[in-house]
Structure 1
Amino acid sequence: MQIVRPVNVIDIPAIERLLVENGVNVTSLPQDRDRLAEIVSLSTKSFNLEQEAVEFPFFMFVLEDLETGSVIGVCGLEASAGSGYPFFNYRLEDLIHASHHLEVKNQIPVLHLSHELTGSTVLKSFAMKPEHKHTDGFALLVRARLMFYCAFQSLFSDRLCTEIQGVLNEQGESEFWNSIGQKFFDIDFATADYYAGVKSKTFIAELMPQHPIYLPLLSPEAQETINREHPQTAMNCQLFFAEGFTKTRFVDIFDGGPVLMAQKQSLKTFKDYHAKQIKVSHQVGGLKYLISNQSLRDFRCVIGNLVDGVGDTVRINPEIADALQLEAGSVAGYSML
């Protein structure tokens, strides 16, 4: 059985191996032990909000194989985008340039530096061993954060977003960055991405041009990548679209990748979410559900069969109850897989 649970400090070596061995490049998961330890520490404090005050919580989860004890995936949930600082993106718009004398009218696409999404809840820091991406574990890792979101709604915004990695060339470079960011920083994409991971995106955005950027002035290669996702993120996008997320006019300031957004009320997980007392039974049929406990500090989420009958109780088997640290009469949250 696979389970999503809060990260802890002993998971750091496993997360490092996951990132290195699988060539994972996620800005918010830097391959820097000190910075990674800081992120894990913040997450631990956030899960312990009942005892510790955290102004801007960030929750990191791992996907663990209970049989082997191995960590096969990691993901994060940031309560408030920017964590007290502006959360920068580019906003795509069209400007009309017209001349009545020449009878010319042109619609020109432009990019505006924006921090409109500041304060949104952000799904981020996703990484998973490739061999598990075509299993139920993939949906579990992506959607367990939303189960946590449903259980503790008061901690989060009604607006959610996620930044999808943009298109890179054969050399692993971003043509979008080469056409804009590199002109102002004189550093390559990989270096800028590393600095953003160990510091923040804020220091980059503060030095970016504040005036609109006219897309026709960018290289053709850069224009082609705007609001397009990296091929390796296709499964992520499909799942997010099925969940209720949509593409927006916002793109990432580094690689021009799309920013997906959803309102709480439109989320499939939220609309299907219920919480009821459990009965533990060896005789369980039913359908597959995402099932979680209701503990902030010791949150657990699995995929398993559940029988939702008439009334205020549901039936699950002992193995699932044990994995979720639940007993008869405890309350479980659940949503259709």
Structure 2
Amino acid sequence: MLLIRPIQGSDFPALMTMARESGAGFTSLPLCENKLTQKIVHSEDSFNADVQAPGDQGYLFVLEDTLSGEILGVSGIEASVGLANPLYHFHKSTMVHQCKELDIFNPVEVLTLGNDYTGVSEICTLFLREPFRVGLNGRFLSKVRFMFMAEHPKRFSKLVIAEMRGAAGEDGQPPFWSWLRKSFLNMEFSKADYLIGVGNKGFIADLMPRYPIYVDLLPEAARDTIGQVHENTVPALKLLENEGFMHRGYVDLFDAGPTVEAQLKQIKSVRQSHRARVVINHDPLQCKGTSQLAVSNCDSKEFRATVSDECRLDTETHSLMMSPAMADLLKVTNGDSVRYLNLDKGAK
């Protein structure tokens, strides 16, 4: 069976493997042993904490094949970004140059550096290893975060964002970065990417432009990729757009990938996930359902989630019939509450 649970210390080798496989530009998985170890410890502390309001918590979930014990993917949530380290974005907006005397009205697009998303929650670190990008794995790994947020809303901000990886050229380098490096930063993309990943952002305030940048003055290749995603990120963006996330002009500093946002209570999987009471049944035929359901327990410290059609939902009694094996996996017993979400909804 597939199991999503909080990351733990023994998952470090798997996390290092995913950091290598994710490649440059995936700043939330830096190829740095110390930083990844810190992320695991921080996540363990966050899941164990008694939280009444969002703060400097970070939650990492891993997707495990319980038969092989192999870790297939990882996803995460930052409860409140920009508190310990500034979170910078460019915001693309329109500035008007007007001269009534000459009857000239000229709207121009500009990029402005800012910290407008300070304090919001961020879903991040979604990475599914390539051999396992099949079926509902990616959808399950993404949506389970919204189930956790729906169950524990006090831990998160009312606004949720996601930073999407920006478009890259044939050489693997973002065209936007090529212009930025030449104009402002004398360093390789891999170095800047690494510094961001380990939380060293001081150089941004020191070296980045302090005034609006006129988009029309950028090289065409850089201009055309503003707000565009990497080809490998297209499925993730579509999942979030289906959840109700929208792009409001904010882009990444280095690759110009879009940052999308949504109100927590308006996210589709938050609205469509519901609680039910556990009923354990030893007859597999009676437990057989008609849809693939993601089901999680309602705990934070011992959070567990799985996906299966081997459970039957009774909407009239608000109960979910499941096998003893599934109940054991979720660490629940008869009468306990679980949260469920139909993964077939919105499927292609």
Aligned to 2:28: 28
Between the two proteins, what is the percent identity of the paired residues? Answer: 31
3-state SS, counterpart of residue 95 of structure 2: strand
Gaps of 5+ in 2: 344-348
Amino acid paired to 1:253: L
TM-score scaled by length of structure 1: 0.94
**CA shift for structure 1 position 205:** 4.3
Contact 1:182 1:188 in 2 (8 A): no
Tell me if the contact between 1:90 and 1:251 (Cα under 8 Å) persists in the aligned partners: yes
Partner of 2:346: none
1:99 maps onto 2:99 in alignment: yes
**Residues 175-194 of structure 1: CA deviation (Å, up to 9, x unaligned):** 21222255222112221001
- Partner SS state of residue 131, structure 2: helix
CA–CA separation in structure 2 for the residues paired with 1:83 and 1:205: 16
Instruction: Name stretches of at least 5 consecutive residues in structure 1 with no aligned partner.
Output: none
- 2:135 maps to 135
Could you give the per-residue CA deviations for residues 154-180 of structure 1, whole angstroms, max 9, x where no partner exists? 010111110000011112212212222
Amino acid at match of 2:339: G
Alignment of 1:67-216 (within 5 A): 67-201=67-201, 203-205=203-205, 207-216=207-216
Match of 2:306 in 1: 302
Aligned counterparts of 1:122 and 1:27: Cα–Cα separation in 2: 14
| Cα offset, 1:229, TM superposition | 0.6
1:40 alignment counterpart: 40
Matched position secondary structure for 2:31: coil
1:333 aligns with 2:339: yes
Q: When the two structures are superposed, what TM-score results if normalisation uses the length of structure 2?
A: 0.91
Provide the secondary structure at the position in 1 that maps to 2:287.
Answer: coil
Per the alignment, residue 226 of structure 1 pairs with 226
Among 261, 268, 284, which residue is 2:287 paired with?
Answer: 284
Q: CA deviation at 1:203?
A: 4.3
Q: C-alpha root-mean-square deviation of aligned residues, in Å?
A: 1.9
- 2:300 partner amino acid: L
Match of 1:3 in 2: 3
- Count residues with an aligned counterpart: 336
For residue 31 of structure 1, report the CA deviation from its aligned partner.
0.6
Is 1:324 the equivalent of 2:327? Answer: no
Comparing 170-179 with 4-13, greater Cα deviation is found at 170-179
CA contact (8 A) 1:46 1:54 kept: no
| Amino acid across the alignment from 1:233 | T
Distance 1:8 1:309, change over 3 A: same
